[in-house]
Chains A and B, each alone.
Chain A
Amino acid sequence: AQTVTQSQPEMSVQEAETVTLSCTYDTSESDYYLFWYKQPPSRQMILVIRQEAYKQQNATENRFSVNFQKAAKSFSLKISDSQLGDAAMYFCAYRSAYTGNQFYFGTGTSLTVIP
């Protein structure tokens, strides 16, 4: 089974600064999809950004962008101009293009934004 590793249980960033959350994954598949989800305190998870493995160009959604390194099996999330509302638990997730429809999640990174 695929595994997703988020090696940073906790991160903090000053408001308006940039922070990068790391995510690596282990797979033998050539096509797959990667996601970052965000769960604010006491609220539901929402999708932040997604990327297809076959696309070379890194996905960007406003202040959120990814650095996708397929050979290294790395999918880091960069948050620019951090805002207080970015404080949340961030989960990286993998989905196979071949087998099943489930997400494989990492253990999450808790992000604190310091005013």
Chain B
Amino acid sequence: EAGVTQFPSHSVIEKGQTVTLRCDPISGHDNLYWYRRVMGKEIKFLLHFVKESKQDESGMPNNRFLAERTGGTYSTLKVQPAELEDSGVYFCASSQTPSGLDEQYFGPGTRLTVT
């Protein structure tokens, strides 16, 4: 069974440009999460999808970030326009059920560098 995949693995863009990150969850996982780790800091929650609906987007930093999950399959996270502080590693995770001891399966992350 394929794990969570993310594309691209690394992206370098200039301030003001737009970048779109993609996440493909494990097949059959209704729950999809986005997290971000800024260098040396903790991994922070951005948002949670259940199928195609946003269950919790309390972690989204501002309206420059737009997440979508059309059809409840893969998800995209667009940053427009990118700022220097958006640099970091963006992780996607998926799970069958959203709570308790259930494991979230993580992708390898997309390293975003904004120059």
**A and B part of one assembly:** yes
Whole-angstrom CA separation of A101 from B43 in the bound complex = 15
Nearest CB on B from A1, distance (A): 9
**Using a Cβ cutoff of 8 Å, how many contacts connect chains A and B?**
57
Q: Contact: A102 with B48, CB < 8 Å?
A: yes
Nearest CB on A from B92, distance (A): 10
Q: Contact: B42 with A107, CB < 8 Å?
A: yes
Known A4-B42, A44-B4, A107-B41; contact A101-B98, beta-carbon cutoff 8 A: yes
Give which listed residue, B45, B58, B101, B107, contacts A44 with CB less than 8 A.
Answer: B107
A105 proximal to B (CB < 8 A): yes
Main DSSP-derived SS at the B contact region: loop
Give which listed residue, A4, A45, A52, A106, contacts B106 with CB less than 8 A.
Answer: A45
Task: Give me the interface of A with B, judged by CB distance under 8 Å.
Answer: 4, 33, 35, 37, 42-47, 50, 52, 91, 95, 97, 100-108
Q: Contact: B101 with A52, CB < 8 Å?
A: yes
Whole-angstrom CA separation of A45 from B31 in the bound complex = 17
Known A50-B101, A52-B101; contact A104-B45, beta-carbon cutoff 8 A: yes
